[in-house]
Amino acid sequence: MIDLLAPLPDAPEPDWAAAFRLPIVDCGEALEPLGTSQGFLVWPAYHRLGIANAPAECHARGGVFQRLLQAARLLPDGLRLVVLDAWRPFAVQQHLYDTLYNILRQHEADAEPAELARRTREFVAPPSTRADAPSPHLTGGAVDVGLCDRDGRWLDMGSLFDEATPRSHTRHYENASDDHGRAIRDRRRLLFNAMRAVGFSNLSSEWWHYDYGDQLWAWHHGHPTAIYGPAQVQPLEHLWRQQLDALRHPS
């Protein structure tokens, strides 16, 4: 039986360089739209915030979709899983990274570039389309999730989604001594233990970020290879061309 209120384990910051050195043997799973799901809610946060190039739908690999459904079923009655982001275009990743880096540089004018990059990477992975080292969200294996009640009202998770402060660290409330802090701790435990039970790993600096199949997931679990490399949501024009080519050159 899964203990959804089990304490959150200590988790160091990932060794990103080591993770990106892990080879990728892509299993070929397609990206699937998550908005058709009846098992969890989808609220594409970046599109709703008006960020340029952010898709109006959340897409993820088929294996991720299945595990999100499984995690949602593990939650207690009255709680629902909400997907905030999944596959992310490179342009959006670049925008998020550059924006946070520049804000940190303005607030900490004396900080060295390497320290600014480290602080930025705490909350936004470096943008990369490299076939051997893609940004996690570009693979369709990384998802950002939260919790709401049965009526769709957000639950207080202790920080805003994408909040760039220590309160966003997954274990920030683990030793809380007041009722409010313990309530947040328990919600984070519920989310973490449900997601971990179905195979996801968590990014320790972001309570909302979970990975399956990408290099970060492989690093966390000690797997020799990742199973998801860079992926792309194909535009309608590309799909039409594929269909016409298939008709012209049947196998």
pLDDT for res 238: 61
- Would you say 107 is a known binding-site residue? no
Question: Sorting pLDDT into bands at 50, 70 and 90, what band is 121?
Answer: confident
Q: pLDDT digits over 132-173, tens only?
A: 999 999 999 999 999 999 999 999 999 999 998 999 999 999
Q: Helices 113-121 and 90-107: crossing angle, nearest 10°?
A: 130
Domains of the chain: 27-248 (3.30.1380.10)
Structure tokens at 81: 């899983």
Question: Sorting pLDDT into bands at 50, 70 and 90, what band is 66?
Answer: very high
**Span 231-237, mean pLDDT?**
79
pLDDT for res 197: 98
Residues in the chain: 251
**Residues with catalytic function:** 206
Q: pLDDT digits over 83-113, tens only?
A: 999 999 999 989 988 988 898 889 888 888 8
- Would you say 209 is a known binding-site residue? yes
pLDDT at 240 over 80: no
Rounded alpha-carbon distances, angstroms, from residue 207 to 11, 95, 106, 224, 250 = 12, 21, 26, 25, 48
The rounded distance, in Å, linking the Cα atoms of 86 and 138 is 8
- Would you say 98 is a known binding-site residue? no
pLDDT at 239 over 70: no
**Span 112-133, mean pLDDT?**
87
Question: Sorting pLDDT into bands at 50, 70 and 90, what band is 123?
Answer: confident
pLDDT for res 236: 64
Q: pLDDT digits over 6-15, tens only?
A: 999 998 889 9
The rounded distance, in Å, linking the Cα atoms of 48 and 54 is 9
pLDDT at 237 over 80: no
